[in-house]
């Protein structure tokens, strides 16, 4: 077997594989012998059918399997030795020559192999990303109070006999319902609790925005070129029957954005020697489950229930990978925040929303 490599460009390689009959015939003969031992044809004892009959019935399948074994072994060996940063898997080239599938013939196959670019990304205090400090205004507090009092309200009949939500009146009963017994006692403490609630919400939103902006900054700075044509072909192939070429085209920009971040994240995990431990994934899964319970209004879930539910989540391959990627995101972003400059900027909630 002979393999030759043709460098198409910085990210794309074409591999030509020339397979001689002697490369696949031992495996072909072995497969035919195995078929003969188990073949059961009328007029012949099991395992005693003539090889000519076995060849006629199973020959094409045995040939294809033997050649595919040689291809697989040859490509794997090539990829291992070449140390390419392979994207996806090799694809049959569009200029693949015709082969005559007859035992004893030689075969030629061409494969396209793509790789990811080498990443050089150095960060320092010269790299700056903005953390927004959202101003808590009297208008926002007023709106929050009104919303909370509506939340603590009750459905009552109006003059027309129709049910409508009547907001609660400010006072101990409403405060206890909103914040728990004896947490808030008067209008002043209500005002302070609302301000604290808004501040907490704003901080979470600003932190989310900061993480998003850091990711985008890193991806933009890395400026990774990708083998886009190859990636489209590969996505269509691996999603055959699930997504059409049109579907892949429609989602391709989003895929590229996520893929670039994935490559940058992997690079920084190695750069900063970050590791994801089993306990990190378990804790993240439990936090995710607790959040899901909270969405349904269920709080203070027992630890054993959280642990059991988290294990079910992690047993799902897709969800488990998402949890792990989330942990990697957190570790990388935390490390980056220690290296770059986070500049703070005061902003109104209206301008923040407009971002």
pLDDT digits (tens, 9 = 90+) for 232-251: 999 999 888 888 889 999 99
* Mean pLDDT of all residues in 60-88: 92
Give the Cα separation of 16 and 51 in Å (integer).
33
Looking at the structure, tell me whether residues 90 and 187 fall in a common domain: no
Is 62 a member of any domain? Answer: yes
Give the Cα separation of 276 and 278 in Å (integer).
7
Min mean pLDDT across 16-25, 116-125, 236-245, 295-304 is at: 295-304
Chain mean pLDDT for the chain: 93
Nearest Cα residue to 324 out of 254, 265, 270:
265
For residue 261, give both structure tokens: 């971040």
Looking at the structure, tell me whether residues 279 and 229 fall in a common domain: yes
Looking at the structure, tell me whether residues 248 and 158 fall in a common domain: yes
Is 345 a member of any domain? Answer: yes
Q: Which residue segment(s) compose the domain that 307 sits in?
A: 128-354
- Cα 210 to chain center, whole Å? 20
pLDDT confidence of residue 295: 82
The contacts of residue 88 (CB under 8 Å, 6+ apart) are 114, 230, 231, 234, 238
The contacts of residue 287 (CB under 8 Å, 6+ apart) are none
The contacts of residue 206 (CB under 8 Å, 6+ apart) are 131, 132, 133, 134, 352
Model confidence at 313, pLDDT cuts 50, 70, 90, reads: very high
Q: Is the dihedral of CA 216, 219, 220, 225 positive or negative?
A: negative
For residue 148, give both structure tokens: 């909370």
Looking at the structure, tell me whether residues 40 and 137 fall in a common domain: no
Burial class (CB in 10 A: 0-12, 13-18, 19+), 80: exposed
User: Nearest 5°: CA angle at 41, between 40 and 44?
Assistant: 100
What confidence tens digit (pLDDT) does each residue in 104-125 have? 999 999 999 999 999 999 999 9
pLDDT confidence of residue 126: 97
Q: Are 17 and 31 within 8 A, CB to CB?
A: no
Question: Global pTM?
Answer: 0.81
Domain count, the chain: 2
Looking at the structure, tell me whether residues 288 and 349 fall in a common domain: yes
Q: Which of residues 79, 114, 149 is at a domain's end? A: 114
Looking at the structure, tell me whether residues 322 and 261 fall in a common domain: yes
Is 123 a member of any domain? Answer: no
pLDDT confidence of residue 86: 92
Model confidence at 189, pLDDT cuts 50, 70, 90, reads: very high
């Amino acid at each position: 077997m002979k393999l030759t490599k043709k460098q198409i460009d910085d990210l794309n390689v074409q591999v030509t594989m020339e397979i001689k009959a002697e490369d696949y015939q031992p495996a072909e003969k072995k497969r035919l012998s195995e078929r003969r031992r188990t073949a059961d044809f009328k007029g012949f004892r099991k395992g005693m059918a003539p090889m000519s009959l076995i060849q006629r019935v199973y020959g094409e399948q045995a040939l294809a399997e033997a050649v595919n074994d040689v291809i697989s072994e040859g490509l794997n060996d090539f990829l291992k030795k070449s140390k390419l940063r392979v994207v996806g898997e090799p694809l049959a080239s569009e200029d693949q020559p015709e082969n005559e599938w007859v035992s004893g013939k030689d075969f030629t196959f061409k494969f396209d192999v793509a790789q990811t670019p080498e990443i050089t990304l150095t960060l320092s205090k010269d790299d700056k990303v903005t953390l927004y400090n959202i101003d808590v205004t009297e208008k926002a507090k007023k709106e929050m109070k009104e919303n909370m009092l509506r939340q603590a309200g009750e459905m009552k009949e109006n003059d027309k006999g129709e049910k409508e939500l009547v907001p609660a009146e400010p006072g101990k009963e409403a405060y206890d319902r909103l914040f728990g017994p004896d947490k808030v006692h008067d209008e002043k403490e209500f005002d302070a609790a609302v301000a604290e609630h808004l501040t907490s919400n704003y901080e979470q939103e600003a932190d989310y925005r900061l993480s998003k902006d850091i990711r985008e900054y890193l991806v933009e700075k890395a400026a990774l070129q990708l083998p886009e044509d190859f990636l489209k072909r590969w996505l269509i192939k691996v999603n055959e029957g699930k997504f059409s070429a049109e579907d892949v085209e429609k989602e391709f920009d989003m895929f590229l954005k996520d893929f670039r971040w994935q490559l940058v994240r992997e690079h920084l995990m190695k750069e900063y020697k970050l590791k994801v431990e089993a306990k990190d994934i378990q804790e993240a899964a439990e936090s995710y489950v607790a959040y899901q319970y909270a969405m349904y209004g269920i709080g203070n879930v027992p630890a054993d229930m959280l642990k059991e539910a988290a294990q079910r989540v992690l047993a799902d391959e897709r969800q488990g990978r998402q949890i792990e990627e989330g942990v990697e995101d957190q570790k990388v972003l935390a490390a980056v925040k220690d290296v770059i400059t986070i500049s703070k900027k005061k902003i109104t909630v209206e301008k923040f929303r407009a971002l």
